[in-house]
Structure 1
Amino acid sequence: MTLEERRAWIRLVVSVVGYAVYVVLVVGRMDGRPVGEVAYAGTLLWTVGGAIGGAILADIVVGIVVGIVNPRGSQVTDDRDREIGRLGERVGQSFVVIGAVGGMLMAMAGWERFWIANVIYLCFVLSAVLGGVTKVVVYRRSVPRW
């Protein structure tokens, strides 16, 4: 497994776990109230920050462990890694755009901030997941030629 493939796996797992933690925390606070009335902003910010920090920390720790287990393992990236990275980012960016447009339309329609923020957050997570899955699949198969 290359350095970049390992990073794709880490980001994919951390994105899913971070969002799952957020959903569990918000749903746990409902206590019979509508979900739109739950305090979510702090939890959203902490889980996003935790996911970013968790991905960085996991990358460092896994890199150290892999370096100890296999000191001759490759830590360099090549053209294939860069091409896969670009492909994954392009595929994932579609959900960033969907989230931005969705949030803008919801704001123009006067929706509550809870729903706007959560649609945007969900689309960020879907972007990370779709981009990560794309990278992992392409690493396991081959880079498509257009």
Structure 2
Amino acid sequence: MSYEEKGTWVYLVVSLLTYVGYVVVVLGRVGDGALVDVPHAGPMLWAIGTSVVLAVVGRVALEAVRPSDRHRPDERDREVNRFGEHVAAVVLGAGMVVPLALALGEARHFWIANAIYAVFTLWAVVGASVKLVAYRRGF
């Protein structure tokens, strides 16, 4: 497994886990009140920050445990990355219609922020998944 493919696996797992963790925290704070009244900014920022740190630490730890033969991307790595980013960009562009519509409809900040975070997570998961499929099965 190449260095780039390992990094993609880490990115996929971390993106999913931190988003799920965020959702669990927010839903756990609902109690008897309304979901939109739950303080979400702090947990969201913590989830995003944790995601960045875990992606870096996870990639370094995985490389320490299972070193790669090479660390520089080759032509295949570049093509896989280009293809995955292209597909993910389509998802991001289409997905951002939702928070835009929410903003134009003057929805509460809770819904707009969560839609943006969900779309960015979807973008990361789809991009990483497409790349991993391309690594395993080709284009």
Query: Is this a same-fold pair by TM over 0.5?
Result: yes
Deviations 1:78-98 (A, max 9, x none): 011001001111111223223
Q: What residue is the counterpart of 1:82 in the other structure?
A: 78
Confirm or deny that 1:59 pairs with 2:59: yes
1:74 CA drift (Å): 2.3
TM-score, normalization: structure 1?
Answer: 0.90
CA distance in 2, matches of 1:123, 1:35: 19
1:36 CA drift (Å): 0.7
Deviations 1:13-56 (A, max 9, x none): 00000001000000000012111110000110110111011101
Query: Identity over the aligned pairs, expressed in percent?
Result: 37
Q: How does 1:22-37 map to 2 (within 5 A)?
A: 22-37=22-37
User: Unaligned stretches of 5+ in structure 1?
Assistant: none
Q: What residue is the counterpart of 1:48 in the other structure?
A: 48
Query: Secondary structure of 2:30's partner?
Result: coil
Give the partner amino acid of 1:121.
Answer: Y
CA distance in 2, matches of 1:40, 1:12: 23
User: Unaligned stretches of 5+ in structure 2?
Assistant: none
CA RMSD of aligned residues (A): 1.2
Of residues 95, 100, 108, the one that matches 2:104 is 108
Query: Secondary structure of 1:74's partner?
Result: coil
CA distance in 2, matches of 1:87, 1:102: 24
Using CA pairs under 8 Å that are at least 6 residues apart, name the structure with larger relative contact order, 1 or 2. 2
Paired residue total? 139
Query: Secondary structure of 2:96's partner?
Result: helix
TM-score, normalization: structure 2?
Answer: 0.94
CA distance in 1, matches of 2:3, 2:89: 22
1:65 CA drift (Å): 1.6
Confirm or deny that 1:95 pairs with 2:78: no
Q: Name segments (4+ residues, structure 1) moved above 4 Å.
A: none
| Contact 1:95-1:124 at 8 Å conserved across structures | no
